[in-house]
Structures are given as C-alpha cells and as structure tokens.
Structure 1
Amino acid sequence: MKSLKLTTLVAATAVALSAFSMSAMAAEKVYKLTMAETWASNFPIFGDAPRNMARIADEMSGGRLKITIDSANKHKAPLGVFDMVRSGQYDMGHSASYYWKGKVPNTLYFTTMPFGMITPEQYGWFYYGGGMDLMQKVYQPFGLLSFPGGNTGNQMGGWFQKEINSVDDLKGLKMRIPGFAGEVMAKLGASPTNIAVGELYTALERRTIDALEWVGPSLDMDLGFHKIAPYYYTGWHEPATELQFLVNERSWKKLPDDLREILRTSMKLASYDMYIQSYHESAENWSKMSTEYPDVQIKTFPKEVLQAMKNANQELLEEAAAKDVLAKEILDSQAAYLKKVRVWTNISDRAYLDSIDSLAD
C-alpha cells in the first residue's frame, strides 16, 4: 500500500513538474510580430507612435513580444496597409482608417468627421460610448481588429493663397483635402484632390493647387507652407484626427492572453502619447513660425462659409445613412454621444477658456 501511494505521489509530482516546465517554457517563448506603416522612415510624430508602442510592449513583456516595423520606403505600398495586414503579409499596420473608404466606406467614420467631436470627446466615444464595438463591426468581416493609433488633435483648415470671404470663393478652388471634407468641398464647387505629402510644397508654390490642408504647426512647419501661403485658416474638417493600429485577427489569437493585454495597453498608451506630443509640437512650432514669419495671418472662415460647409456636410451624412444600415448606426451613435458630451465640454473647458480670456493680464 505504501509502495502504491509512493508511486502515485511520484507520478503526480512528475506530472506537476512537467506542467510547470511547460508553463515556464511558454512564459519564456518570444512572439515576433511584423508591422507595416503608411509613413516614410523617420516621419515625425506619426512614425513615433508605432515605435513607442513596440518599445512599451517589449519592456512590459520582458522581451517576450517583439514588433518589427517596416516603413513605406521598404514595403513600397503606403496605402496598401489594409490589404497587407488582411492577407497576413504583415501581422499589424499603422495608418488611418479613412484611407480605406474606397474599399470599405464605413471605415471613414473612425478617423474624424467634419464638425464632429474634439479629441477628448472622441476618445470618450471610442472607449466608453460604444465606438470600439462599432469599429469592430466594420473590421471583423475582413479578419481585422482596429484600435485607436494616435491623435493629432484639432487640425488646421489649411494654407491658402487667397482669402476666403464668401462661398463663391470656394467655386473652382483647387485644394488638397482628403476624406469626407473633400466631398463637402466638392459639393460647394471646389475641386478637391489628394497629393502625396512630398509633392505638396511644389504644387502650392507653382499654383498647381490654390490651397492645401495637412495637419497643423506640429508637422506643417517642416514642410515650409508658411513660406509660400499667407493665410492659415482654423479648422472645421478634422477636429480629432485619430490614426489606427490594425491587427490581423489570426495573429492576435496566436498570442497568449497576457501578451494580448500588453499589446492592447501598449497601443492605448502610445496613442495618447502621440496626442500629447502633437499638441506640444504645434505650440512650439507656431511660436517659431509666428516670430520668423510675422506676415502669416491666422484666419477663420466667415460664418456664411462655415454654415454652407455644415449644411453640405449634413446632407452628405444623411445620404450615407440612407444607403447603409451600419453607416446609420455609426453616425447615429456619434451624433448622440456628441450631443451629450458637448454639454459638458461647454460648461467645463469652453467656459473656463472664455472666462479667463476676458480677464486683464
């Protein structure tokens, strides 16, 4: 009997040791993921976000999660990230959701929308207002997961060679402006186009285009638009431009639970850090720009023009909602959340700024 008990104990111990050994081996296994980004090598701010994410994931996992990033210079397909991640050529991607509107129209709504939410409001919608679930409804049929990937904050309305004083001034205006805002401008008689970033300065300088929007001082200054266009208009079209991390669902499922959570947390932290960095760089660069080029004039579109833009935007939203049930669900969710959250924004941030701006220094 003692011998049987001893044998049983030895066997149980062996099983336990084997299980512990396997668990230890699993814990030590290194998982390697590849990522394709839309941006060129060393592209500031946008390119910093995925590298920060990879670094955080590496450190939090104790080296068990390694992410290699290929820039557009290497994979040669800056706007092919969706397809490369979907096919499994890459495990992950870093880009912007509205780039895929030609493939999947409902991806458009998860970057930002004209006259929509500002960054804190939009993050609230994503993480607590149902935005993440709706985004997954759009991406899941393609075997993809999408996560917020970094925010620029409110983007400027663009650089213009001439002043915009009325809606008539938009007619025939050749402007680089992508996404839903481009459709709004087209509805008002402008001629929107999308030109690669490396060609923007030359196009504006040679008057191939009359105006362009890029981001804001955080990235515009390095491109030199302030040297050739005197009017810098405030924003309306991209109040909270959110980039995205795309993840191949098969690659996601291969990760153990703890590494999935580390990856999720790393993406979230890097995204918010990009927002902070972008805000800081805009403040720094505008200070330099306004000092070195005092002739640059900050302008806001006249109320008549903004109203026309907003009306055109609303008509386009209604058309999109009428054509697609999921589009309607997304747009209704955004509108309802904006209506609720903007009340708080007005009695907190807006009231604070308005009240202190009225005080003497």
Structure 2
Amino acid sequence: MVKISRLLVCLLVAFTFTFAGFVSPADAAPKYRWKLAMTWPTNFPIFGDAVQNMADMVKEMSGGEMEIRIDSKNKHKAPFGVLDMVKAGQYEMGHSASYYWKGKDINTLFFTTMPFGMIAPEQYAWFYYGGGMELMKEVYDKHGVYSYPGGNTSNQMGGWFQKEIKSLKDLKGLKMRIPGFAGEVLAKLGVVVTNIPAGELYTALDRGTIDALEWVGPSLDLNMGFHKIAPYYYTGWHEPATELQFMVNKKKFDALPKHLQAIVETAMKFAAYDMYARSYNDSAENWA
C-alpha cells in the first residue's frame, strides 16, 4: 500500500511538471498590467475596435507578458480628461483626438486635422517621413506624454442639421457640436460651438440641446441614427482626414523593456492603419 501511494505521488509530480511544460507563455500571469482610458463609450464601433485590436496584439505578441485593460468613458466618466489622466499616471495609455486639448495647448490642433488640409495618406506621410512625429513629440513632451497616430476616419461630412442652411444668416445663433479649427471658424460666423461626447450626441440633438452636429461620416453617423432626427446632411471642407491619437505616459513607457516598447509601438501603428481601412470600407457599405 505504501509503495502504491509513493507511486501515485511520483506520477502526480511527473504529470505536474510535464503539464507545466506545455503551458504557453500567454497562459502565464502577465508581468505588466496596464490600463488605457478612451474617450469613446463602451463597445463603440471602429474607434473602440481599433483600441481593442491594439490591446489584443500586445498580449499576443508579448506572449502574455503584457496586458492592457481598456476603460471606456462609461467607467472613468471623463471623456475629455484622458490627456490629464495619462499625464498623471492614473492610466498608462489613452485613446482620443488631439484637437480636444486645444484649451490646454493650441498646438495640439495640428495633429488631428485642419480645414482644406491633408488627406489621410498625406497625413501618414507627414507623420512618419515628413517630421510630423518629431513635431508632435516636441508639443507633447511638456505634458509628459508620448503621442502616436491612432487611426484615421478619412474625410468627414459637414454635419447633420434639423433646418436647411441656405445662407450665412442661417448660421447665426445655431447651436452646433463641432470641435477643432472648424469650430473656431464657425464661431466667427455666429455659430454657438460646443463639444459633446459621442455617447450623448443623439440625445442632445433630439432634445434640442443642439441644433446641429458634426461627427464623422457614413461609417459611423448612419449607425448612430442621426438621419432620423436631422434630415439635412452636408458635405464637409473642415476635416479632409481626421487622425485619432494614442497616448502613452512617458515615464511608464520608458520603464518598459525594449522589446515591449517595440511591441506596443508596432501594435499602435497596425491598429491605426487598420482603422483607416475599416473607416473607408464601412462608409462605402453604409452608403450602398
């Protein structure tokens, strides 16, 4: 009986070590657990998908050594506070749009879009080969954050309006959600400009909090139902291409091993390009 017990113990130990040899690195507990705050609501299509793709790639490419938890604005409750949270180290990463920070630093406007400016391929050429990344680093260094391209929406539409716009007089006193340079221009024409988080846009337009809104284009707008409550849809001039933004806390990133730094940067770059392609595809499908 004693011999049988010893044999069972030996077999159990052998099985344990054998099984451990087959456990993949991805099944092991991650050494680095990061959190990312995004401006978008939970399960937000295209934008949120790009963030999830990035996080999935980091986990897979690192063999499970690093994981990134994603918190939507539904959890952190500060859609336009993402830069501050990443800067403070409350979150290691963020996903948003650079032109949301114009109140903190007017130079952040240049890394999202500008009226009659570059289209998406030109933006990527500028970022990666024309000095755009270096200029963005210079602007964001003072905020303690690294900034990277975070996905492009392509050209955006001019917005949804509840009343037809026939002349400049129709813009006087119009309450409209529109950020960035375009908001600055329309404010000069008498528009009451505001910015509202994505998840609150439909309700704001439906209840009359705003009279019009600019969001993205067919890829997202039709899915959000704006056409049901605002029958006038105009083409745009203000955002020929709109680049979103990944942010990383500088101290946290610099403390990562080099191979994980490379993985994070590669995953962000892939997610950005993938979102660009997805935006084109979904706009075409929604228009069809």
TM over 0.5: yes
Deviates most, 267-276 or 208-217: 208-217
What is the alpha-carbon root mean square deviation over aligned residues?
1.7
**Residue by residue, what CA displacement relative to the aligned partner does 1:100-149 show, whole Å, maximum 9, x if unpaired?**
11112211111111111111111111111100000000111221100001
1:79 Cα deviation after fit: 1.4
Go from structure 1 to structure 2 and tell me whether the alpha carbon gap of 1:258 and 1:185 turns closer, same or farther (over 3 Å shift): same
* Kept in 1: contact 2:154–2:279 (CA 8 A): yes
Give the Cα separation in 1 of the matches to 2:178 and 2:286. 22
Unaligned runs of 5+ in 1: 1-27, 288-361
Aligned residues: 260
Counterpart of 1:109 in structure 2 is: 110
- Tell me the amino acid that sits aligned with residue 116 of structure 2: F
Counterpart of 1:324 in structure 2 is: none
Deviates most, 116-125 or 166-175: 166-175
Go from structure 1 to structure 2 and tell me whether the alpha carbon gap of 1:259 and 1:117 turns closer, same or farther (over 3 Å shift): same
The higher radius of gyration belongs to 1
Counterpart of 1:225 in structure 2 is: 226
- Tell me the amino acid that sits aligned with residue 113 of structure 1: M
1:208 Cα deviation after fit: 4.0
* Aligned sequence identity (%): 71
Deviates most, 57-66 or 129-138: 57-66
- Tell me the amino acid that sits aligned with residue 256 of structure 1: P
Normalized against structure 1, the TM-score is what?
0.69
Higher helix share: 1
* Kept in 1: contact 2:148–2:247 (CA 8 A): yes
Unaligned runs of 5+ in 2: 1-28
- Tell me the amino acid that sits aligned with residue 58 of structure 1: K
- Counterpart mapping for 1:253-268 below 5 A: 253-268=254-269
Go from structure 1 to structure 2 and tell me whether the alpha carbon gap of 1:122 and 1:275 turns closer, same or farther (over 3 Å shift): same
1:248 Cα deviation after fit: 0.6
Counterpart of 2:73 in structure 1 is: 72
Normalized against structure 2, the TM-score is what?
0.85
Give the Cα separation in 2 of the matches to 1:230 and 1:35. 37
Give the Cα separation in 1 of the matches to 2:209 and 2:101. 26
* Kept in 1: contact 2:39–2:197 (CA 8 A): no
Give the Cα separation in 1 of the matches to 2:30 and 2:66. 9
Counterpart of 2:179 in structure 1 is: 178
Give the Cα separation in 2 of the matches to 1:89 and 1:273. 28
3-state SS of paired residue (1:245): strand
**Residue by residue, what CA displacement relative to the aligned partner does 1:208-233 show, whole Å, maximum 9, x if unpaired?**
43321111111111221111222211
1:164 Cα deviation after fit: 2.6
Go from structure 1 to structure 2 and tell me whether the alpha carbon gap of 1:76 and 1:174 turns closer, same or farther (over 3 Å shift): closer
Deviates most, 198-207 or 59-68: 198-207
- Tell me the amino acid that sits aligned with residue 183 of structure 2: G
Give the Cα separation in 2 of the matches to 1:205 and 1:42. 22
* Kept in 1: contact 2:40–2:198 (CA 8 A): no
- Counterpart mapping for 1:1-361 below 5 A: 30-287=31-288
Q: Would you identify which runs of 4 or more consecutive aligned residues in structure 1 move more than 4 Å?
A: none
Give the Cα separation in 2 of the matches to 1:115 and 1:212. 19
**Residue by residue, what CA displacement relative to the aligned partner does 1:161-186 show, whole Å, maximum 9, x if unpaired?**
23333333322222221222111001
**Residue by residue, what CA displacement relative to the aligned partner does 1:12-45 show, whole Å, maximum 9, x if unpaired?**
xxxxxxxxxxxxxxxx973222211111211111
Go from structure 1 to structure 2 and tell me whether the alpha carbon gap of 1:201 and 1:73 turns closer, same or farther (over 3 Å shift): closer
- Tell me the amino acid that sits aligned with residue 103 of structure 2: G
- Tell me the amino acid that sits aligned with residue 259 of structure 1: L
